[in-house]
Structure 1
Amino acid sequence: MAGRSNEPGRSVVSKALAVLAAFENDRRALSQAEIVELTGLPQSTVHRLLAELVEWGALGRDAHGRYQVGMRLWELGQNAGRQLREIARPFVLDLYSLTRETAQIAVRDGTDALYIDRAYSSKRVPRASRVGGRLPLHATAVGKVLLAFEEPWVREAYLQQDLAAVTPHTHVAPQRLAEELAAVREQGWASTAEEVRLGACSIAVPVPHRERRIGAALGLVMASNQAAGMTRHLPTLRGVAQQIEAATAHVPLSTIRRAVDPRSGTRP
Protein backbone atom coordinates (compact mmCIF):
# COMPACT_ATOMS: atom_id res chain seq x y z
CA MET A 1 0.00 0.00 0.00
CA ALA A 2 1.55 3.27 -1.10
CA GLY A 3 1.76 6.48 0.87
CA ARG A 4 2.67 7.52 4.38
CA SER A 5 0.42 8.17 7.36
CA ASN A 6 -0.04 11.81 8.37
CA GLU A 7 -1.91 10.89 11.57
CA PRO A 8 0.29 10.32 14.62
CA GLY A 9 0.16 6.77 15.93
CA ARG A 10 -1.61 5.32 12.90
CA SER A 11 0.22 3.71 10.02
CA VAL A 12 -1.12 3.27 6.52
CA VAL A 13 -1.52 -0.45 7.24
CA SER A 14 -3.61 0.19 10.35
CA LYS A 15 -5.87 2.52 8.36
CA ALA A 16 -6.28 -0.02 5.56
CA LEU A 17 -7.16 -2.67 8.13
CA ALA A 18 -9.72 -0.32 9.66
CA VAL A 19 -11.36 0.04 6.25
CA LEU A 20 -11.49 -3.74 5.81
CA ALA A 21 -12.81 -4.17 9.35
CA ALA A 22 -15.82 -2.04 8.41
CA PHE A 23 -17.10 -5.05 6.49
CA GLU A 24 -16.57 -7.53 9.31
CA ASN A 25 -20.07 -7.37 10.80
CA ASP A 26 -21.99 -6.12 7.79
CA ARG A 27 -22.58 -8.24 4.69
CA ARG A 28 -24.16 -5.46 2.62
CA ALA A 29 -22.29 -3.14 0.31
CA LEU A 30 -21.18 0.11 1.97
CA SER A 31 -20.88 3.62 0.61
CA GLN A 32 -17.74 5.67 1.08
CA ALA A 33 -19.60 7.89 3.55
CA GLU A 34 -20.60 4.87 5.63
CA ILE A 35 -17.01 3.62 5.68
CA VAL A 36 -15.81 7.06 6.80
CA GLU A 37 -18.32 6.96 9.64
CA LEU A 38 -17.44 3.40 10.67
CA THR A 39 -13.67 3.93 10.61
CA GLY A 40 -13.42 7.50 11.88
CA LEU A 41 -10.85 8.20 9.17
CA PRO A 42 -10.76 11.37 7.06
CA GLN A 43 -12.74 11.17 3.83
CA SER A 44 -9.64 11.83 1.73
CA THR A 45 -7.80 8.96 3.42
CA VAL A 46 -10.73 6.57 2.94
CA HIS A 47 -11.08 7.62 -0.71
CA ARG A 48 -7.41 6.87 -1.39
CA LEU A 49 -7.41 3.56 0.45
CA LEU A 50 -10.60 2.38 -1.22
CA ALA A 51 -9.10 3.01 -4.64
CA GLU A 52 -5.99 1.00 -3.77
CA LEU A 53 -7.95 -1.83 -2.15
CA VAL A 54 -10.21 -2.09 -5.19
CA GLU A 55 -7.21 -2.10 -7.52
CA TRP A 56 -5.61 -4.95 -5.52
CA GLY A 57 -8.87 -6.91 -5.39
CA ALA A 58 -9.47 -6.79 -1.64
CA LEU A 59 -12.67 -4.83 -2.28
CA GLY A 60 -15.05 -4.59 -5.20
CA ARG A 61 -17.18 -1.64 -6.33
CA ASP A 62 -20.68 -2.11 -7.74
CA ALA A 63 -22.56 -0.09 -10.34
CA HIS A 64 -23.91 2.23 -7.63
CA GLY A 65 -20.45 3.09 -6.33
CA ARG A 66 -20.82 1.03 -3.16
CA TYR A 67 -18.09 -1.25 -1.86
CA GLN A 68 -18.05 -4.90 -0.79
CA VAL A 69 -15.50 -7.59 0.00
CA GLY A 70 -13.60 -8.55 -3.15
CA MET A 71 -12.99 -12.03 -4.48
CA ARG A 72 -9.24 -11.84 -3.93
CA LEU A 73 -9.68 -11.17 -0.22
CA TRP A 74 -12.26 -13.97 -0.02
CA GLU A 75 -9.85 -16.38 -1.73
CA LEU A 76 -7.06 -15.36 0.65
CA GLY A 77 -9.34 -15.89 3.63
CA GLN A 78 -10.03 -19.47 2.58
CA ASN A 79 -6.45 -20.34 3.59
CA ALA A 80 -7.19 -19.54 7.23
CA GLY A 81 -7.87 -22.78 9.07
CA ARG A 82 -7.67 -24.74 5.81
CA GLN A 83 -5.56 -27.56 7.24
CA LEU A 84 -7.96 -28.23 10.09
CA ARG A 85 -11.01 -27.75 7.87
CA GLU A 86 -9.81 -30.17 5.23
CA ILE A 87 -8.97 -32.83 7.81
CA ALA A 88 -12.16 -32.37 9.84
CA ARG A 89 -14.59 -32.01 6.91
CA PRO A 90 -15.35 -35.74 6.46
CA PHE A 91 -15.97 -36.13 10.20
CA VAL A 92 -18.26 -33.08 10.37
CA LEU A 93 -20.26 -34.54 7.50
CA ASP A 94 -20.32 -37.88 9.28
CA LEU A 95 -21.64 -36.21 12.44
CA TYR A 96 -24.40 -34.61 10.41
CA SER A 97 -25.31 -37.88 8.70
CA LEU A 98 -25.50 -39.69 12.05
CA THR A 99 -27.61 -37.05 13.80
CA ARG A 100 -29.36 -35.19 10.94
CA GLU A 101 -28.67 -32.00 12.87
CA THR A 102 -26.50 -29.02 11.90
CA ALA A 103 -22.91 -30.02 12.77
CA GLN A 104 -20.05 -27.58 13.29
CA ILE A 105 -16.46 -27.28 14.43
CA ALA A 106 -14.88 -24.13 15.87
CA VAL A 107 -11.59 -22.88 17.31
CA ARG A 108 -10.86 -19.99 19.65
CA ASP A 109 -9.70 -16.77 18.05
CA GLY A 110 -9.24 -14.22 20.80
CA THR A 111 -12.57 -13.77 22.56
CA ASP A 112 -14.59 -15.42 19.79
CA ALA A 113 -15.48 -18.88 18.58
CA LEU A 114 -14.37 -18.97 14.94
CA TYR A 115 -16.37 -21.44 12.85
CA ILE A 116 -14.05 -23.53 10.68
CA ASP A 117 -16.63 -25.80 9.07
CA ARG A 118 -20.32 -26.60 9.24
CA ALA A 119 -22.78 -29.06 7.67
CA TYR A 120 -26.32 -27.68 7.62
CA SER A 121 -29.40 -29.68 8.47
CA SER A 122 -32.47 -29.32 6.27
CA LYS A 123 -34.51 -28.58 9.40
CA ARG A 124 -35.66 -25.02 10.02
CA VAL A 125 -33.33 -23.74 12.73
CA PRO A 126 -32.38 -20.05 13.23
CA ARG A 127 -28.81 -19.53 12.05
CA ALA A 128 -26.45 -17.40 14.09
CA SER A 129 -23.24 -17.73 12.13
CA ARG A 130 -21.59 -19.19 9.06
CA VAL A 131 -18.30 -20.82 8.08
CA GLY A 132 -15.67 -18.17 8.72
CA GLY A 133 -18.02 -16.33 11.05
CA ARG A 134 -17.52 -15.79 14.74
CA LEU A 135 -19.59 -15.48 17.91
CA PRO A 136 -18.73 -14.59 21.54
CA LEU A 137 -17.33 -17.54 23.47
CA HIS A 138 -19.78 -17.17 26.37
CA ALA A 139 -22.90 -17.34 24.17
CA THR A 140 -22.28 -20.59 22.30
CA ALA A 141 -21.84 -24.22 23.29
CA VAL A 142 -18.63 -24.59 21.26
CA GLY A 143 -17.37 -21.33 22.75
CA LYS A 144 -18.08 -22.43 26.30
CA VAL A 145 -16.16 -25.65 25.68
CA LEU A 146 -13.19 -23.74 24.26
CA LEU A 147 -13.23 -21.32 27.20
CA ALA A 148 -13.78 -23.99 29.87
CA PHE A 149 -10.74 -26.01 28.83
CA GLU A 150 -8.44 -23.03 28.35
CA GLU A 151 -5.71 -22.06 30.80
CA PRO A 152 -7.07 -20.47 33.99
CA TRP A 153 -5.65 -17.02 33.24
CA VAL A 154 -7.50 -16.96 29.89
CA ARG A 155 -10.83 -17.66 31.60
CA GLU A 156 -10.12 -15.11 34.30
CA ALA A 157 -9.23 -12.44 31.75
CA TYR A 158 -12.34 -13.21 29.73
CA LEU A 159 -14.64 -13.01 32.75
CA GLN A 160 -13.27 -9.55 33.59
CA GLN A 161 -14.63 -8.16 30.32
CA ASP A 162 -18.07 -6.72 29.69
CA LEU A 163 -20.03 -9.74 28.42
CA ALA A 164 -22.53 -8.92 25.71
CA ALA A 165 -26.09 -10.21 26.08
CA VAL A 166 -26.73 -11.47 22.55
CA THR A 167 -30.28 -12.46 23.58
CA PRO A 168 -32.21 -12.07 26.84
CA HIS A 169 -31.11 -15.63 27.68
CA THR A 170 -27.35 -15.13 27.32
CA HIS A 171 -25.45 -15.85 30.55
CA VAL A 172 -23.48 -12.68 31.27
CA ALA A 173 -23.09 -12.72 35.07
CA PRO A 174 -19.36 -13.50 35.62
CA GLN A 175 -19.89 -15.66 38.71
CA ARG A 176 -22.65 -17.69 37.08
CA LEU A 177 -20.58 -18.15 33.94
CA ALA A 178 -17.52 -19.20 35.97
CA GLU A 179 -19.61 -21.84 37.73
CA GLU A 180 -21.00 -23.02 34.42
CA LEU A 181 -17.50 -23.34 32.93
CA ALA A 182 -16.40 -25.38 35.95
CA ALA A 183 -19.34 -27.72 35.34
CA VAL A 184 -18.37 -27.99 31.66
CA ARG A 185 -14.84 -29.07 32.61
CA GLU A 186 -16.21 -31.66 35.01
CA GLN A 187 -18.84 -33.18 32.72
CA GLY A 188 -16.96 -32.76 29.46
CA TRP A 189 -19.62 -30.95 27.43
CA ALA A 190 -21.52 -27.67 27.19
CA SER A 191 -24.97 -26.64 26.06
CA THR A 192 -26.91 -23.46 25.38
CA ALA A 193 -30.61 -22.66 25.02
CA GLU A 194 -31.47 -19.56 22.98
CA GLU A 195 -28.36 -17.72 24.17
CA VAL A 196 -27.30 -16.65 20.70
CA ARG A 197 -30.49 -17.08 18.64
CA LEU A 198 -34.08 -17.38 19.81
CA GLY A 199 -35.46 -20.71 18.69
CA ALA A 200 -32.11 -22.51 18.67
CA CYS A 201 -30.14 -24.58 21.18
CA SER A 202 -26.74 -26.26 20.95
CA ILE A 203 -24.47 -28.84 22.53
CA ALA A 204 -20.72 -29.31 22.12
CA VAL A 205 -17.72 -31.38 23.24
CA PRO A 206 -13.97 -30.70 23.17
CA VAL A 207 -11.63 -32.01 20.50
CA PRO A 208 -8.40 -32.65 22.46
CA HIS A 209 -4.93 -32.33 20.96
CA ARG A 210 -1.83 -34.37 21.63
CA GLU A 211 -0.19 -31.30 23.20
CA ARG A 212 -2.62 -31.75 26.12
CA ARG A 213 -4.69 -28.76 25.15
CA ILE A 214 -7.99 -28.31 23.36
CA GLY A 215 -7.58 -27.89 19.63
CA ALA A 216 -11.22 -27.29 18.75
CA ALA A 217 -14.82 -27.81 19.81
CA LEU A 218 -17.36 -29.94 17.97
CA GLY A 219 -21.05 -29.23 18.27
CA LEU A 220 -24.62 -29.58 17.07
CA VAL A 221 -27.30 -26.92 16.66
CA MET A 222 -31.01 -27.73 16.68
CA ALA A 223 -34.42 -26.25 17.36
CA SER A 224 -35.14 -25.18 20.93
CA ASN A 225 -37.95 -27.71 21.29
CA GLN A 226 -35.27 -30.42 21.13
CA ALA A 227 -33.22 -29.02 24.02
CA ALA A 228 -34.41 -31.61 26.54
CA GLY A 229 -33.10 -34.48 24.40
CA MET A 230 -29.78 -32.98 23.24
CA THR A 231 -27.65 -35.18 25.49
CA ARG A 232 -28.65 -38.27 23.52
CA HIS A 233 -26.16 -37.10 20.91
CA LEU A 234 -23.21 -37.04 23.33
CA PRO A 235 -21.89 -40.55 22.48
CA THR A 236 -21.85 -39.64 18.79
CA LEU A 237 -20.25 -36.26 19.42
CA ARG A 238 -17.53 -37.81 21.56
CA GLY A 239 -16.88 -40.59 19.07
CA VAL A 240 -16.46 -38.16 16.17
CA ALA A 241 -14.32 -35.85 18.33
CA GLN A 242 -11.98 -38.76 19.04
CA GLN A 243 -11.69 -39.43 15.31
CA ILE A 244 -10.81 -35.80 14.65
CA GLU A 245 -8.30 -35.88 17.51
CA ALA A 246 -6.56 -38.89 15.96
CA ALA A 247 -6.61 -37.37 12.48
CA THR A 248 -5.10 -34.05 13.62
CA ALA A 249 -2.49 -35.49 15.99
CA HIS A 250 0.29 -34.72 13.50
CA VAL A 251 -0.77 -31.09 13.07
CA PRO A 252 0.97 -28.59 15.41
CA LEU A 253 -1.50 -26.87 17.69
CA SER A 254 -0.15 -23.49 16.60
CA THR A 255 -1.47 -24.10 13.08
CA ILE A 256 -4.89 -25.24 14.31
CA ARG A 257 -5.70 -22.23 16.43
CA ARG A 258 -4.80 -18.56 16.51
CA ALA A 259 -5.09 -17.86 20.21
CA VAL A 260 -4.94 -14.20 21.21
CA ASP A 261 -4.06 -13.03 24.69
CA PRO A 262 -7.27 -11.18 25.74
CA ARG A 263 -5.31 -9.24 28.35
CA SER A 264 -3.23 -7.43 25.77
CA GLY A 265 -4.66 -8.19 22.36
CA THR A 266 -1.36 -9.72 21.21
CA ARG A 267 -0.71 -13.20 19.99
CA PRO A 268 1.27 -15.33 22.46
Structure 2
Amino acid sequence: MTPLNAGAEPPPSMVERMTLIMDAFAGRAALLTLEDVARRTRLPRSTAHRILDQLVRLDWLEHTSSGYRLGRRALGLGGDGGHGRIREAAAPLLHELQLSTGLVVHLAVLDGADVRFLDKAGGPFARSVPSRVGGRAPARATALGRAILAWLEPERVEALIGDPGSLHQELHRVRQRRGLAFERGDCFPGITSVAAAIRGPEGPVAGISLAGDSRAPLERVAPLVCDAARQASRALFPEPEPLRHAARVPHRGRLPGPIDRLLTAGRGDRS
Protein backbone atom coordinates (compact mmCIF):
# COMPACT_ATOMS: atom_id res chain seq x y z
CA MET A 1 0.00 0.00 0.00
CA THR A 2 1.31 3.47 -0.88
CA PRO A 3 1.75 5.67 2.19
CA LEU A 4 -0.99 8.24 2.59
CA ASN A 5 1.50 11.11 2.42
CA ALA A 6 4.06 9.58 0.05
CA GLY A 7 6.78 12.04 -0.88
CA ALA A 8 5.95 14.49 1.90
CA GLU A 9 8.03 15.38 4.93
CA PRO A 10 6.53 14.53 8.32
CA PRO A 11 4.59 17.57 9.59
CA PRO A 12 6.36 19.54 12.33
CA SER A 13 3.56 20.22 14.81
CA MET A 14 2.14 17.73 17.30
CA VAL A 15 -1.44 18.50 16.23
CA GLU A 16 -0.58 17.76 12.61
CA ARG A 17 1.13 14.52 13.54
CA MET A 18 -1.79 13.38 15.67
CA THR A 19 -4.17 14.24 12.82
CA LEU A 20 -1.98 12.28 10.41
CA ILE A 21 -2.19 9.23 12.66
CA MET A 22 -5.95 9.51 13.09
CA ASP A 23 -6.36 9.80 9.32
CA ALA A 24 -4.51 6.50 8.93
CA PHE A 25 -7.57 4.73 10.36
CA ALA A 26 -9.87 4.48 7.34
CA GLY A 27 -12.96 3.45 9.32
CA ARG A 28 -14.30 2.19 12.63
CA ALA A 29 -13.27 -1.38 11.74
CA ALA A 30 -9.64 -0.48 10.93
CA LEU A 31 -7.07 -2.32 13.05
CA LEU A 32 -3.47 -1.17 12.62
CA THR A 33 -0.19 -2.24 14.19
CA LEU A 34 2.52 0.23 15.17
CA GLU A 35 4.39 -0.70 12.00
CA ASP A 36 1.27 -0.04 9.91
CA VAL A 37 0.88 3.42 11.42
CA ALA A 38 4.55 4.31 10.98
CA ARG A 39 4.48 3.16 7.35
CA ARG A 40 1.26 4.97 6.46
CA THR A 41 2.23 8.22 8.16
CA ARG A 42 5.97 8.05 7.40
CA LEU A 43 6.63 9.07 10.97
CA PRO A 44 9.60 7.60 12.84
CA ARG A 45 8.53 4.48 14.71
CA SER A 46 9.44 5.99 18.09
CA THR A 47 7.44 9.14 17.33
CA ALA A 48 4.43 7.16 16.16
CA HIS A 49 4.58 5.00 19.29
CA ARG A 50 4.73 8.02 21.60
CA ILE A 51 1.76 9.72 19.94
CA LEU A 52 -0.24 6.49 19.82
CA ASP A 53 0.25 6.10 23.58
CA GLN A 54 -1.07 9.63 24.12
CA LEU A 55 -4.09 8.99 21.91
CA VAL A 56 -4.84 5.78 23.81
CA ARG A 57 -4.64 7.56 27.17
CA LEU A 58 -7.09 10.17 25.89
CA ASP A 59 -9.46 7.48 24.51
CA TRP A 60 -9.12 8.64 20.89
CA LEU A 61 -7.65 5.21 20.15
CA GLU A 62 -7.87 1.81 21.81
CA HIS A 63 -4.92 -0.58 22.07
CA THR A 64 -5.83 -4.26 21.77
CA SER A 65 -3.75 -7.42 21.56
CA SER A 66 -4.02 -7.23 17.75
CA GLY A 67 -3.22 -3.56 17.28
CA TYR A 68 -4.76 -0.10 17.48
CA ARG A 69 -8.30 0.89 16.57
CA LEU A 70 -10.54 3.91 16.96
CA GLY A 71 -11.54 4.60 20.58
CA ARG A 72 -14.75 5.79 22.16
CA ARG A 73 -14.07 9.49 21.55
CA ALA A 74 -13.37 9.03 17.85
CA LEU A 75 -16.35 6.71 17.44
CA GLY A 76 -18.57 9.05 19.41
CA LEU A 77 -18.02 11.79 16.83
CA GLY A 78 -19.71 9.62 14.23
CA GLY A 79 -22.58 8.22 16.26
CA ASP A 80 -23.10 6.07 19.34
CA GLY A 81 -19.91 4.03 18.96
CA GLY A 82 -21.84 0.83 18.28
CA HIS A 83 -23.92 1.06 21.45
CA GLY A 84 -27.15 0.82 19.48
CA ARG A 85 -26.08 -2.57 18.21
CA ILE A 86 -25.28 -3.69 21.76
CA ARG A 87 -28.68 -2.52 23.00
CA GLU A 88 -30.43 -4.28 20.13
CA ALA A 89 -28.65 -7.57 20.82
CA ALA A 90 -29.25 -7.40 24.58
CA ALA A 91 -32.84 -6.09 24.63
CA PRO A 92 -34.70 -9.43 24.48
CA LEU A 93 -32.29 -10.94 27.00
CA LEU A 94 -32.83 -8.07 29.45
CA HIS A 95 -36.59 -8.44 29.10
CA GLU A 96 -36.40 -12.17 29.76
CA LEU A 97 -34.13 -11.67 32.78
CA GLN A 98 -36.47 -9.13 34.32
CA LEU A 99 -39.55 -11.29 33.83
CA SER A 100 -37.91 -14.43 35.19
CA THR A 101 -36.35 -12.82 38.27
CA GLY A 102 -38.41 -9.74 39.10
CA LEU A 103 -35.16 -7.85 39.69
CA VAL A 104 -33.82 -4.72 38.01
CA VAL A 105 -31.73 -5.38 34.91
CA HIS A 106 -28.98 -3.07 33.67
CA LEU A 107 -26.92 -2.92 30.49
CA ALA A 108 -23.83 -0.73 30.67
CA VAL A 109 -20.54 0.05 28.96
CA LEU A 110 -17.23 1.22 30.35
CA ASP A 111 -16.72 4.95 29.84
CA GLY A 112 -13.41 6.06 31.28
CA ALA A 113 -13.38 5.28 35.00
CA ASP A 114 -17.18 4.96 35.02
CA VAL A 115 -19.85 2.69 33.69
CA ARG A 116 -22.56 4.33 31.60
CA PHE A 117 -26.00 2.77 31.65
CA LEU A 118 -27.38 2.00 28.18
CA ASP A 119 -30.59 0.34 29.36
CA LYS A 120 -32.58 -0.39 32.52
CA ALA A 121 -35.57 -2.67 32.96
CA GLY A 122 -37.53 -3.43 36.11
CA GLY A 123 -40.83 -3.44 37.92
CA PRO A 124 -41.87 -1.20 40.81
CA PHE A 125 -38.56 -1.80 42.58
CA ALA A 126 -36.73 -0.04 39.73
CA ARG A 127 -37.61 3.31 41.31
CA SER A 128 -35.61 2.32 44.38
CA VAL A 129 -32.43 1.87 42.32
CA PRO A 130 -31.03 5.38 41.65
CA SER A 131 -29.67 4.58 38.21
CA ARG A 132 -30.91 5.95 34.90
CA VAL A 133 -30.28 5.37 31.23
CA GLY A 134 -27.41 7.64 30.23
CA GLY A 135 -26.30 7.99 33.84
CA ARG A 136 -22.95 6.96 35.24
CA ALA A 137 -21.49 5.20 38.26
CA PRO A 138 -17.90 4.52 39.35
CA ALA A 139 -16.72 1.33 37.64
CA ARG A 140 -14.71 0.14 40.63
CA ALA A 141 -17.75 0.37 42.94
CA THR A 142 -20.22 -1.53 40.76
CA ALA A 143 -20.61 -5.17 39.84
CA LEU A 144 -21.02 -4.05 36.22
CA GLY A 145 -17.73 -2.17 36.27
CA ARG A 146 -15.82 -4.98 37.97
CA ALA A 147 -17.21 -7.56 35.55
CA ILE A 148 -15.90 -5.51 32.62
CA LEU A 149 -12.59 -4.45 34.20
CA ALA A 150 -11.75 -8.06 35.07
CA TRP A 151 -11.08 -8.80 31.37
CA LEU A 152 -8.84 -5.80 30.72
CA GLU A 153 -5.07 -5.87 31.02
CA PRO A 154 -3.89 -4.68 34.47
CA GLU A 155 -2.07 -1.75 32.88
CA ARG A 156 -5.29 -0.64 31.19
CA VAL A 157 -7.16 -0.86 34.51
CA GLU A 158 -4.54 1.29 36.21
CA ALA A 159 -4.67 3.85 33.38
CA LEU A 160 -8.45 4.11 33.74
CA ILE A 161 -8.85 3.96 37.50
CA GLY A 162 -5.71 5.77 38.61
CA ASP A 163 -4.92 4.20 41.99
CA PRO A 164 -6.57 0.75 41.83
CA GLY A 165 -5.68 -0.13 45.43
CA SER A 166 -7.19 -3.52 46.24
CA LEU A 167 -9.19 -3.56 43.01
CA HIS A 168 -6.81 -5.99 41.31
CA GLN A 169 -7.51 -8.54 44.04
CA GLU A 170 -11.24 -8.20 43.51
CA LEU A 171 -10.85 -8.53 39.74
CA HIS A 172 -8.86 -11.72 40.31
CA ARG A 173 -11.77 -13.08 42.35
CA VAL A 174 -14.14 -12.16 39.51
CA ARG A 175 -12.05 -14.21 37.08
CA GLN A 176 -11.97 -17.11 39.54
CA ARG A 177 -15.77 -17.01 39.55
CA ARG A 178 -15.71 -17.34 35.76
CA GLY A 179 -16.54 -13.67 35.24
CA LEU A 180 -19.26 -13.14 37.85
CA ALA A 181 -18.93 -9.92 39.88
CA PHE A 182 -20.90 -9.18 43.05
CA GLU A 183 -21.55 -5.87 44.75
CA ARG A 184 -23.39 -5.24 47.98
CA GLY A 185 -24.14 -1.61 48.73
CA ASP A 186 -20.80 -0.26 47.50
CA CYS A 187 -22.37 2.07 44.92
CA PHE A 188 -26.01 2.49 45.98
CA PRO A 189 -26.70 1.89 49.72
CA GLY A 190 -28.98 -1.07 50.31
CA ILE A 191 -28.71 -2.27 46.71
CA THR A 192 -26.96 -5.51 45.77
CA SER A 193 -26.13 -6.73 42.28
CA VAL A 194 -24.42 -9.42 40.26
CA ALA A 195 -23.00 -8.86 36.78
CA ALA A 196 -21.16 -10.52 33.90
CA ALA A 197 -19.40 -9.01 30.91
CA ILE A 198 -20.40 -9.23 27.26
CA ARG A 199 -17.14 -10.12 25.56
CA GLY A 200 -15.90 -9.97 21.99
CA PRO A 201 -12.75 -11.08 20.20
CA GLU A 202 -10.77 -8.15 21.61
CA GLY A 203 -12.18 -8.16 25.13
CA PRO A 204 -15.24 -6.86 27.01
CA VAL A 205 -17.67 -4.52 25.26
CA ALA A 206 -20.44 -4.17 27.88
CA GLY A 207 -21.95 -5.79 30.95
CA ILE A 208 -25.33 -7.08 32.15
CA SER A 209 -26.40 -7.02 35.79
CA LEU A 210 -29.31 -7.92 38.05
CA ALA A 211 -29.91 -5.65 41.03
CA GLY A 212 -32.16 -5.87 44.07
CA ASP A 213 -32.28 -5.14 47.78
CA SER A 214 -30.35 -7.02 50.45
CA ARG A 215 -32.78 -9.97 50.21
CA ALA A 216 -32.14 -10.55 46.49
CA PRO A 217 -31.00 -14.15 45.84
CA LEU A 218 -27.90 -13.16 43.92
CA GLU A 219 -26.24 -16.58 44.04
CA ARG A 220 -29.36 -18.24 42.67
CA VAL A 221 -29.86 -15.84 39.76
CA ALA A 222 -26.15 -15.43 38.93
CA PRO A 223 -26.15 -18.26 36.35
CA LEU A 224 -28.95 -16.46 34.49
CA VAL A 225 -26.84 -13.31 34.24
CA CYS A 226 -23.87 -15.30 33.01
CA ASP A 227 -25.98 -17.06 30.40
CA ALA A 228 -27.52 -13.79 29.18
CA ALA A 229 -24.09 -12.20 28.79
CA ARG A 230 -22.89 -15.25 26.88
CA GLN A 231 -25.90 -15.16 24.55
CA ALA A 232 -25.39 -11.44 23.90
CA SER A 233 -21.74 -12.12 23.08
CA ARG A 234 -22.73 -14.77 20.56
CA ALA A 235 -25.32 -12.47 18.99
CA LEU A 236 -22.80 -9.66 18.60
CA PHE A 237 -19.86 -11.85 17.58
CA PRO A 238 -21.15 -14.97 15.77
CA GLU A 239 -17.68 -16.24 14.94
CA PRO A 240 -15.98 -18.42 17.56
CA GLU A 241 -14.18 -16.23 20.03
CA PRO A 242 -10.38 -16.53 19.91
CA LEU A 243 -9.01 -18.35 22.92
CA ARG A 244 -7.52 -15.19 24.32
CA HIS A 245 -8.41 -16.20 27.85
CA ALA A 246 -8.53 -19.95 27.27
CA ALA A 247 -6.14 -20.67 30.09
CA ARG A 248 -8.45 -18.95 32.53
CA VAL A 249 -11.92 -19.23 31.10
CA PRO A 250 -12.95 -22.38 29.20
CA HIS A 251 -15.85 -21.64 26.84
CA ARG A 252 -18.64 -24.13 27.32
CA GLY A 253 -22.36 -24.21 26.81
CA ARG A 254 -22.86 -23.77 30.56
CA LEU A 255 -20.93 -22.79 33.67
CA PRO A 256 -18.32 -25.47 34.46
CA GLY A 257 -18.53 -27.45 37.66
CA PRO A 258 -21.20 -27.46 40.36
CA ILE A 259 -22.85 -24.08 40.44
CA ASP A 260 -22.88 -23.95 44.24
CA ARG A 261 -19.12 -24.37 44.36
CA LEU A 262 -18.67 -21.81 41.61
CA LEU A 263 -20.64 -19.16 43.46
CA THR A 264 -19.41 -19.80 47.00
CA ALA A 265 -16.91 -16.97 46.70
CA GLY A 266 -19.71 -14.52 45.96
CA ARG A 267 -21.50 -15.10 49.26
CA GLY A 268 -18.76 -13.54 51.32
CA ASP A 269 -17.76 -10.86 48.85
CA ARG A 270 -17.82 -7.42 50.41
CA SER A 271 -14.98 -5.75 48.54
TM tier, shorter chain?
A: 0.5 to 0.7
CA contact (8 A) 1:159 1:178 kept: no
The corresponding residue for 1:223 is: 213
CA apart distance, 1:223: 0.6
The corresponding residue for 2:27 is: none
Query: Which structure 2 residue ranges, 5 or more long, are not aligned?
Result: 1-77, 240-271
CA apart distance, 1:130: 0.8
The corresponding residue for 1:200 is: 191
Determine the C-alpha separation between the residues in 2 that align with 1:212 and 1:81.
16
Q: Deviations over 1:38-65 (max 9, x none)?
A: xxxxxxxxxxxxxxxxxxxxxxxxxxxx
The corresponding residue for 2:175 is: 185
What amino acid sits opposite 1:193 in the alignment? R
The corresponding residue for 1:66 is: none
CA contact (8 A) 2:93 2:232 kept: yes
Secondary structure, aligned partner of 1:116: strand
Determine the C-alpha separation between the residues in 1 that align with 2:145 and 2:131.
13
CA apart distance, 1:216: 1.3
Secondary structure, aligned partner of 1:224: coil
Structure 2 residue corresponding to 1:129, chosen from 128, 131, 148: 131
The corresponding residue for 1:239 is: 227
CA apart distance, 1:99: 1.0
Fraction of identical pairs, as percent: 31
Determine the C-alpha separation between the residues in 2 that align with 1:113 and 1:224.
22
CA apart distance, 1:149: 1.2
TM-score (norm 2): 0.54
What amino acid sits opposite 2:218 in the alignment? M
Determine the C-alpha separation between the residues in 2 that align with 1:77 and 1:142.
23
CA contact (8 A) 1:125 1:200 kept: no
What is the aligned-residue RMSD (CA, Å)? 2.3
What amino acid sits opposite 2:191 in the alignment? A
CA contact (8 A) 1:128 1:196 kept: no
CA apart distance, 1:230: 0.8
Secondary structure, aligned partner of 1:225: coil
The corresponding residue for 2:119 is: 117
The corresponding residue for 2:148 is: 146
CA contact (8 A) 1:126 1:198 kept: no
Secondary structure, aligned partner of 1:205: strand
CA apart distance, 1:159: 4.4
The corresponding residue for 1:90 is: 92
The reply on whether 1:107 has 2:109 as its aligned counterpart is yes
Determine the C-alpha separation between the residues in 2 that align with 1:202 and 1:77.
30
Secondary structure, aligned partner of 1:214: strand
Secondary structure, aligned partner of 2:118: strand
Determine the C-alpha separation between the residues in 1 that align with 2:227 and 2:189.
29
Determine the C-alpha separation between the residues in 2 that align with 1:108 and 1:233.
23
Q: Which has the higher contact order (CA 8 A, sep 6+)?
A: 1
CA distance change for structure 1 residues 198 and 88 in 2, over 3 Å: closer, same or farther? same
Query: Which structure 1 residue ranges, 5 or more long, are not aligned?
Result: 1-75, 162-173, 252-268
CA contact (8 A) 2:113 2:161 kept: no
CA distance change for structure 1 residues 231 and 125 in 2, over 3 Å: closer, same or farther? farther
Determine the C-alpha separation between the residues in 2 that align with 1:83 and 1:237.
19
TM-score (norm 1): 0.55
CA apart distance, 1:225: 3.0
Moved over 4 A (4+): 76-80
